[in-house]
């Protein structure tokens, strides 16, 4: 997994969460990525934009966990995408989402949305998810450091202090309970 400074804490916390689950018994779908392919889920599938448009499509299968890292800021209709993810989750299934907040504009192909920690929680709850936990991390130096480049984390140079007024990344865990 790429260890950019801006994602170091988030990636660590997300990794801890997934590894705390009985992941070897879970059927997983990763949206527009393949970072989790080798973890050892019971089954693993990934889909990628533009061949698969999460705003307009489902796979027709059900999953225990769906992962969308650094995707939702790029899609045109996040509410429809969240609805489709909800449809594909089994009862008690987990949606893991990561997004940027105070980070430079990066169209790939578009850069459309940002959510604060509270904004992501409200968005997920309005889409029907329950037991929603959201988190944020960042600091002023990291925000400034990411304006020009995407520096890799160096523990000798980069602070991991969390300054709440400078959230550079936001992530959440949301469950489908019904």
- DSSP codes joined into one string, the chain: ---BGGGHHHHHHHHHHHHHS-GGG-EEEEES--TTTTS--SEEEEE-TTTS-TTT---S--EEEEEEES-TTT-S-HHHHHHHHHHHEEEEEEEEEEEESS-----SS-------HHHHHHHHHHTT-EEEEEEEE--HHHHHHTTT--PBP-TTT------TT---EEEEEEEE--
Q: In sequence order, what are the residues at sequence separation of 6 or more whose Cβ sits closer than 8 angstroms to the Cβ of residue 131?
A: 174, 175, 177
pLDDT at 1 over 80: no
What pLDDT does residue 124 have? Answer: 98
pLDDT, tens digit (0-9, with 9 covering 90-100), for 92-149: 999 999 999 999 999 988 999 999 999 999 999 999 999 999 999 999 999 999 998 8
Q: Give, rounded to a whole angstrom, the gap between the first and last alpha carbons of the chain.
A: 33
Residue 167 and residue 137 in contact, taking contact as beta carbons nearer than 8 Å: yes
Residue 9 and residue 162 in contact, taking contact as beta carbons nearer than 8 Å: yes
What pLDDT does residue 56 have? Answer: 97
Residue 68 and residue 32 in contact, taking contact as beta carbons nearer than 8 Å: yes
Q: What is the dihedral of CA 6, 8, 13, 15, to 10 degrees?
A: 120
pLDDT, tens digit (0-9, with 9 covering 90-100), for 54-97: 999 999 999 999 999 999 999 999 999 999 999 999 999 999 99
Q: In sequence order, what are the residues at sequence separation of 6 or more whose Cβ sits closer than 8 angstroms to the Cβ of residue 40?
A: 23, 24
What pLDDT does residue 2 have? Answer: 78
CATH assignment of the domain containing 110: 3.40.50.150
Give how many domains the chain has, as a whole number: 1
| Domain range enclosing 69 | 5-176
CA 172 to the chain's CA centroid: 7
What pLDDT does residue 50 have? Answer: 79
């Amino acid at each position: 997994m790429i260890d950019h400074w801006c994602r170091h804490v988030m990636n660590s916390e997300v990794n801890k969460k997934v590894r705390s689950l009985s992941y070897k018994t879970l059927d997983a779908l990763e949206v527009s990525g393949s970072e989790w392919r080798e973890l050892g889920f019971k089954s693993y599938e990934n889909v990628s934009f533009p061949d698969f448009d999460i705003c307009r499509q489902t796979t027709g299968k059900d999953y225990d966990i769906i992962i969308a890292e650094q995707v939702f800021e790029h899609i045109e209709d996040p509410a429809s995408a969240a609805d489709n993810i909800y449809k594909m989750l089994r009862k008690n299934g987990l949606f893991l989402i990561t997004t940027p907040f105070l980070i430079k504009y990066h169209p790939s192909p578009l850069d459309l949305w940002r959510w604060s920690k509270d904004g992501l929680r409200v968005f997920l709850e309005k889409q029907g998810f329950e037991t929603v936990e959201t988190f944020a991390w960042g600091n002023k130096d990291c925000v400034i450091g990411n304006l020009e480049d995407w520096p890799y984390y160096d523990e000798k140079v980069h602070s991991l202090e969390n300054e709440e007024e400078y959230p550079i990344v936001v992530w959440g865990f949301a469950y489908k309970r019904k």
